[in-house]
C-alpha cells in the first residue's frame, strides 16, 4: 500500500472528522407543547367558545387587568408591588445574569485579541549569549480564534439565548403571580372587613337585647335561662369579631410584604366603595399557551436542553484553533521597538481527544437525560395550564349559581328574623326561637359575602391562569 504524501497524512484526522460530522444525525426537535393534544374548546366555556392556539409569547404585555376591578387602592398596591416586591427583584436579577451569560457565550465566537509585554533573564542553550545570562524584552499583540466547524460554539450560544428567554418568561410569571397575590389578599381583606362590620352590627344588636332581657329579669318578667342564653350569644359573637380582626391583621401584613414594606408600619385606608366584579365575556380566545409565561419558560428550557445536546455531540469532533502573534523582541531594552526587532508568528492547532475514559459519552447521555426531563416538565406545564383554566371556569359557573341561591336565602332569613323579633316582643315566641332566627340571618349573610369574595378571588385566579388580561389593550380586561 502506497503511503499518503505527508501533507495529506497530517490532514487525515480532520477529513475523518468532517465525514463523521456529515453522517451524524441531529436530534429531532421536541413536539410542540410537548406532544399534548390540545382541545378545541374548554369544557366549562359557555356557548362552546373556541380557544385559539398561538405561539409562545412571554414578552407580550399582560395588560393592567386589575383596573377592571375599579378600585384605586388596589391599583396603587399593584403598582407598588411592581416596584418594590423582592420576588420580582430577584427574578429581574436572574434575568440580568442570564443575559450576561448570553453575551459571554456570543463573545466566544469572536476573535480574541490581547496585549502582552515582559522581560526575562535567562541563560543556556536558548539564550543569545549561550551560558552567559541575557535579558530578553518582548512586547506585542496576540490573536486567537476558534473555528466553529461543528457548531459547538453556536449551539452553546443558542442554549444561552434560550436560557435568557426562559428567565424573561419567569420574570413575567413572577410579576403576574405577585400581582395576583396582591389582588387576592386585598380583596380578601376587604371581605374580612365587611364581614367584621356585619358581625359587629349583630354584636350591637345582641348587647341591646341582653340589656333588655336583664331589665326584664330584674323586674321578674324573664327567666335566668334567657339571660344566660343571651350572654352566651354575646360572648360567641365577640369571639367572632376578634377572630376576624386576627384575619385582618394577617392579610394586612401579607400586603405589606408583597409591596416591599415593613408589616408594622403598613397602613391601608378604608374602602370608599366595593370593588367591581369583572364579567368574563363568552367566546374569549384561549391564548393560554401563548400568554402563560411559565409555559413559555418551559418551552425555552426545552430548546436550551436540545442545544446543549448539540454541544455535547460536537465534543466528539476536533477543535480547530487559529492563533497569531506579532510584536517586538530584543535582548536590549533600548532596541525593543526598533524595526529590526519585530517578530511575528501564525499557528493552527487541531486537537481531538483519543481516549477520555468515557467522559464525552457520559456528558452526551447526561445532556439527553436533561432534555427528556425538560420535555416532561413542559408537558406538565401545558397540562397544568389547561387544568387551571378549567378549574376556574367551573368554579365561576358554580359560584354564580351559589350566589343566586344565597341571595334568596338571605332575603328569606332577614324576613324571618324581622318577624321573629316582632313576635318575641309581643310574647308570641320564645327567646330561643328569636336567637335561632337571628343566627340564621347572620349565617346566610356571611355565606353570601364569602361566596361573593370567592367570585372575586376566582376571577383573579382565572386571569392568572390565562396569563393576564384577555384583551390586547393594556388597562382593560
On the question of pLDDT at 39 being above 50, the answer is yes
Task: Determine the 3-state secondary structure of 449 from DSSP.
Answer: helix
On the question of pLDDT at 102 being above 80, the answer is yes
Q: Residue 301, CB half-sphere, CA atoms under 13 Å: how many?
A: 23
pLDDT at 14: 45
Compute the average pLDDT of residues 406-434: 86
Cα–Cα distance measured from residue 427 to residue 434, given in angstroms and rounded to the nearest whole number: 11
Average pLDDT, the chain: 79
On the question of pLDDT at 423 being above 60, the answer is yes
Residue 360's pLDDT band, with cuts at 50, 70 and 90, is confident
Residue 472's pLDDT band, with cuts at 50, 70 and 90, is very low
Q: What is the CA radius of gyration of the chain?
A: 37
Longest pairwise C-alpha distance within the chain: 132
Q: What domains are defined for the chain? A: 28-112+136-180+287-466 (1.20.1600.10)
Compute the average pLDDT of residues 185-193: 93
Residue 29's pLDDT band, with cuts at 50, 70 and 90, is low
Burial class (CB in 10 A: 0-12, 13-18, 19+), 251: buried
Instruction: Give the E-state strand segments of 22-102 in sequence order.
Output: none
For residue range 159-174, list pLDDT tens digits in order: 888 889 888 888 988 9
pLDDT at 252: 93
Compute the average pLDDT of residues 105-123: 79
With pLDDT > 70 as the criterion, what percentage of the chain qualifies?
Answer: 76
Of 164, 155, 163, residue with least CA distance to 312: 155
Cα–Cα distance measured from residue 100 to residue 308, given in angstroms and rounded to the nearest whole number: 18
Strand order in the sheet with 134-147: 112-122, 134-147, 319-330, 342-351
On the question of pLDDT at 156 being above 60, the answer is yes
pLDDT at 238: 94
Cα–Cα distance measured from residue 52 to residue 61, given in angstroms and rounded to the nearest whole number: 18
Amino acid at each position: 500500500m502506497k503511503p499518503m504524501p505527508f501533507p495529506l497524512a497530517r490532514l487525515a484526522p480532520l477529513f475523518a472528522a468532517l465525514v463523521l460530522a456529515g453522517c451524524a444525525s441531529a436530534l429531532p426537535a421536541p413536539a410542540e407543547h410537548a406532544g399534548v393534544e390540545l382541545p378545541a374548546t374548554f369544557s366549562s366555556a359557555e356557548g362552546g367558545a373556541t380557544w385559539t392556539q398561538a405561539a409562545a409569547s412571554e414578552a407580550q404585555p399582560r395588560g393592567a387587568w386589575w383596573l377592571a376591578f375599579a378600585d384605586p387602592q388596589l391599583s396603587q398596591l399593584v403598582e407598588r408591588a411592581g416596584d418594590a416586591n423582592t420576588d420580582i427583584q430577584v427574578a429581574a436579577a436572574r434575568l440580568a445574569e442570564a443575559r450576561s451569560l448570553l453575551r459571554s457565550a456570543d463573545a466566544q465566537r469572536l476573535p480574541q485579541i490581547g496585549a502582552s509585554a515582559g522581560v526575562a533573564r535567562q541563560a543556556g542553550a536558548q539564550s543569545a549569549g549561550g551560558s552567559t545570562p541575557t535579558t530578553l524584552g518582548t512586547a506585542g499583540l496576540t490573536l486567537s480564534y476558534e473555528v466553529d466547524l461543528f457548531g459547538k460554539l453556536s449551539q452553546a450560544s443558542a442554549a444561552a439565548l434560550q436560557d435568557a428567554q426562559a428567565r424573561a418568561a419567569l420574570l413575567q410569571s413572577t410579576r403576574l403571580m405577585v400581582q395576583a397575590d396582591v389582588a387576592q389578599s386585598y380583596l380578601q381583606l376587604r371581605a374580612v372587613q365587611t364581614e367584621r362590620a356585619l358581625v359587629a352590627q349583630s354584636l350591637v344588636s345582641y348587647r341591646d337585647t341582653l340589656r333588655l332581657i336583664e331589665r326584664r329579669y330584674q323586674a321578674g318578667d324573664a327567666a335566668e335561662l334567657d339571660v344566660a342564653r343571651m350572654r352566651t350569644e354575646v360572648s360567641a359573637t365577640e369571639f367572632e369579631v376578634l377572630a376576624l380582626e386576627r384575619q385582618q391583621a394577617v392579610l394586612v401584613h401579607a400586603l405589606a410584604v408583597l409591596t416591599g414594606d415593613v408589616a408594622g408600619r403598613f397602613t391601608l385606608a378604608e374602602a370608599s366603595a366595593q370593588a367591581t366584579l369583572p364579567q368574563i365575556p363568552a367566546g374569549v380566545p384561549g391564548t393560554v399557551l401563548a400568554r402563560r409565561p411559565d409555559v413559555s419558560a418551559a418551552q425555552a428550557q426545552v430548546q436550551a436542553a436540545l442545544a446543549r445536546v448539540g454541544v455535547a455531540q460536537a465534543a466528539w469532533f476536533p477543535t480547530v484553533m487559529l492563533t497569531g502573534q506579532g510584536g517586538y523582541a530584543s535582548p536590549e531594552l533600548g532596541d525593543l521597538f526598533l524595526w529590526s526587532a519585530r517578530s511575528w508568528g501564525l499557528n493552527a492547532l487541531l486537537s481531538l481527544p483519543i481516549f477520555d475514559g468515557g467522559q464525552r459519552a457520559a456528558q452526551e447521555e447526561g445532556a439527553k437525560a436533561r432534555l427528556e426531563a425538560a420535555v416532561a416538565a413542559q408537558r406538565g406545564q401545558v397540562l397544568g395550564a389547561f387544568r387551571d383554566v378549567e378549574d376556574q371556569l367551573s368554579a365561576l359557573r358554580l359560584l354564580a349559581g351559589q350566589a343566586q341561591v344565597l341571595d334568596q336565602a338571605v332575603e328569606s332569613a332577614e324576613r324571618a328574623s324581622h318577624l321573629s323579633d316582632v313576635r318575641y316582643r309581643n310574647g308570641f315566641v320564645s327567646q330561643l326561637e328569636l336567637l335561632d332566627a337571628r343566627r340564621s340571618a347572620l349565617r346566610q349573610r356571611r355565606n353570601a359575602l364569602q361566596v361573593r369574595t370567592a367570585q372575586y378571588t376566582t376571577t383573579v385566579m382565572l386571569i392568572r391562569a390565562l396569563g393576564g388580561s384577555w384583551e390586547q389593550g393594556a388597562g382593560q380586561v
